[in-house]
């Protein structure tokens, strides 16, 4: 694999790249269900994590295209969850939201290769967080790592929209050729970077087969391999 040259700035996706979002999300919803069993056993008996995820995704689709904080979407999801099972209770929904957010942010575990890689890279490159999520660096022990942070919820566009990559590049103050993006999603990260005219590294931790038809120049299976490419 060819080396990547001329890079001054590196942006990273968050969920699935620096930490396991699915794991912490399922973990947090488990605590929500436990809390709901205490507060409203009838509602809890009609729900499981899979149903709650589906309702949250439905609500997110309803908000799509609007610059809306993801925590607002999560709160609305809990409201609609209780409504869907015939147990509407806005106060309880707000409480469940707080339980979820507490575990969602306090219980994040970085992948083992994240801290050492970022520590090495920040001595030479300007680093940034470019995400469709809402995990601020200070919530997961990365407050000293990034010189810029760009969240889709603040701009009303999401990756793979090239506008979000352009916003990140403008914040970093560099050209397309000096900018590199690293992420785990072929559609959001790789295709988005290609659309924006910047280089991208696909972080394929699970070594899944690429059947998308999206062609990328660089693929790694651990974040630590990024240092060898640069």
pLDDT digits (tens, 9 = 90+) for 43-99: 999 999 999 999 999 999 998 877 578 899 999 999 999 999 999 999 999 999 999
- Peptide bond between residue 160 and the one before it cis (omega within 30 degrees of 0): yes
Q: Which letter, b or e, does each residue of 186-211 get, where b requires 16 or more Cβ atoms within 10 Å of its Cβ? A: bebbbbbbbebebbbbbbbeeeeeee
The range of the structural domain enclosing residue 182 comes to: 9-19+111-229
> CATH code at 54?
1.20.120
190 and 160 housed in the same domain: yes
- Span 222-226, average pLDDT: 96
Tell whether 197 is covered by a domain: yes
Question: Are residue 191 and residue 215 in the same domain, yes or no?
Answer: yes
Q: How far apart are the first and last CA of the chain?
A: 11
Q: Average model confidence (pLDDT) for the chain?
A: 94
3-state secondary structure of 112: coil
Q: How confident is the model at residue 6 (pLDDT cuts 50, 70, 90)?
A: very high
Does residue 81 share a domain with residue 129?
Answer: no
Residues 164, 225 share a domain? yes
Residue 154 covered by a domain:
yes
Q: Which residue, 84, 106, 128, sits at the end of a domain?
A: 106
Query: Do 165 and 211 fall within a single domain?
Result: yes
Q: Does 159 reside within a domain?
A: yes
Q: Are residue 42 and residue 58 in the same domain, yes or no?
A: yes
74 and 34 part of one domain: yes
pTM over 0.85: yes
The reply to whether 101 and 178 lie within a common domain is no
Higher pLDDT, 213 or 36: 36
pLDDT for residue 24: 94
- Note whether residue 2 is domain-resident: no
For tokens 């309803």, the residue is: 62
CA distances from 194 to 88, 98, 214 (A): 45, 38, 10
Same domain, 118 and 223: yes
CATH code (residue 200): 3.40.50.1000
Pair (13, 53) in one structural domain? no
Q: How confident is the model at residue 141 (pLDDT cuts 50, 70, 90)?
A: confident
In this predicted structure, the answer to whether residue 153 has a pLDDT above a threshold of 80 is: yes
pLDDT value of position 139: 84
Q: How many domains does the chain have?
A: 2
The answer to whether 208 touches 187, Cβ cutoff 8 Å, is no
**Could you tell me which residues come within 8 angstroms of residue 38 by beta carbon, excluding any fewer than 6 positions away?**
none
Mark which of 43, 76, 106 sits at the end of a domain. Answer: 106
pLDDT of 67 reads 56
User: Is residue 130 a contact partner of residue 12, using CB atoms and an 8 Å limit?
Assistant: yes
Position 3 in a domain: no
138 and 214 co-located in one domain: yes
Q: What confidence score (pLDDT) does residue 191 get?
A: 95
What whole-number distance in Å separates Cα of residue 114 and Cα of residue 74?
27
Instruction: Grade residue 171 by pLDDT with cuts at 50, 70 and 90.
Output: very high
């Amino acid at each position: 694999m060819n080396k990547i040259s001329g890079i001054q700035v590196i942006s990273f996706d968050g969920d699935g790249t620096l930490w396991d979002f699915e794991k912490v999300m399922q973990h947090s919803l488990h605590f929500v269900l436990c809390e709901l069993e205490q507060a409203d056993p009838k509602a809890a008996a009609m729900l499981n994590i899979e149903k709650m995820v589906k309702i949250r995704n439905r609500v997110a689709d309803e908000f799509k295209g609007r610059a809306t904080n993801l925590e607002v979407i999560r709160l609305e999801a809990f409201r609609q969850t209780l409504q869907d099972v015939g147990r509407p209770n806005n106060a309880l929904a707000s409480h469940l939201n707080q339980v979820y957010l507490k575990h969602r942010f306090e219980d994040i575990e970085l992948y083992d290769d994240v801290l050492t890689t970022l520590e090495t890279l920040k001595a030479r490159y300007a680093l940034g967080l470019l995400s469709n999520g809402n995990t601020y660096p200070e919530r997961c022990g990365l407050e000293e790592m990034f010189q810029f942070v760009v969240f889709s919820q603040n701009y009303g566009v999401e990756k793979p929209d090239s506008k979000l990559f352009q916003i990140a590049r403008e914040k970093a103050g560099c050209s397309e050729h000096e900018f590199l993006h690293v992420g785990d999603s072929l559609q959001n990260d790789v295709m988005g970077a290609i659309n924006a005219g910047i280089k991208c590294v696909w972080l394929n931790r699970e070594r899944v087969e690429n059947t998308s038809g999206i062609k990328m120049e660089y693929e790694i299976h651990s974040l630590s391999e990024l240092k060898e490419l640069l």
